[in-house]
Structure 1
């Protein structure tokens, strides 16, 4: 009995650490998914740097209480799986929303975004955000555009000088 209690305490500590350290955690009801679908989902999430784990509701509830997360208890009913993302808050939301659209039984319950409980609407808004790579590309493009304009302006002066020299050379050839 004592070993079971220690194992549960260790699971609560692990869940508490993951809930506290992840940027976003999304809870989902995976009922109705077969092993193949679940394996594909885990693979997609792993490629995006997201850990997907089936969790026990009572232990998750206890970990949330220790972290001071209010409002998560209502969503901890039935089979629950959690997707923990340490880097990109949009990645798990995009993948899980896609699975939810394609599956009749898979449901997203709620999430925790940087210590705050969020609902399905906010998770959908996260899924609609561009990915981190897209945002970085837009920022780099924003920095690059003025520099490219400056290079074109400077190159234009040199180009005009070459045109003038060429015209002078042709005039001298005609005069000679």
Structure 2
């Protein structure tokens, strides 16, 4: 890469960093191309971005961004995963790590908070935005269903009683 290409690459990486809410850093040493492609596909399906970059260039891009504290995470063969949804990002990485022990989560940063690998694993246990919405809808619907069954119960009892009386008269 010449100087102009490096500058353009750093600027594009900065734009990608600023456009996302979370960044997770991992080591991929020992993963083959098929495994990296599988991870890349899972990330793409979730709307996340997966990048394998040179540490020196990435550190230059991190300067003057909200991710500057993560500079110490970049040692060895490092990859970066970026997303607007940190929970889904953490879930994909943790689940992939379970099936591929060569992937090592180094840490990350979310909303300017530096994350350790244990923090990433803890975030992966949280419900996603869609799961949380479904739970809220279920909670809101439950009282209405109970109220409706209570209101309909007297009418049902009267109907059953009338039906039973009509059967006795015959």
Deviation by residue 1:88-129 (Cα, 9 ceiling, x = unmatched): 212221221223233343211121112322111110111121
The residue correspondences of 1:22-41 to structure 2 (distance < 5 A) are 22-41=20-39
For 2:18 and 2:116, how far apart are their aligned partners in 1?
18
Over alpha carbons, which structure has the higher Rg? 1
For 2:66 and 2:18, how far apart are their aligned partners in 1?
10
Structure 1 unaligned segments of length 5 or more: list them. none
Matched, 1:151 2:148: yes
Number of matched pairs: 170
Determine which of 8, 22, 29 is the counterpart of 1:10: 8
Structure 2 unaligned segments of length 5 or more: list them. none
For 1:168 and 1:98, how far apart are their aligned partners in 2?
62
For 2:25 and 2:5, how far apart are their aligned partners in 1?
22
For 2:67 and 2:133, how far apart are their aligned partners in 1?
31
Determine which of 64, 71, 74 is the counterpart of 1:73: 71
Q: Is the 8 A contact 1:22 1:114 kept in 2?
A: no
Instruction: Give the deviation of 1:143 after TM superposition.
Output: 0.7
Distance 1:112 1:97, change over 3 A: same
Q: 1:129: which partner in 2?
A: 126
Normalized against structure 1, the TM-score is what? 0.85
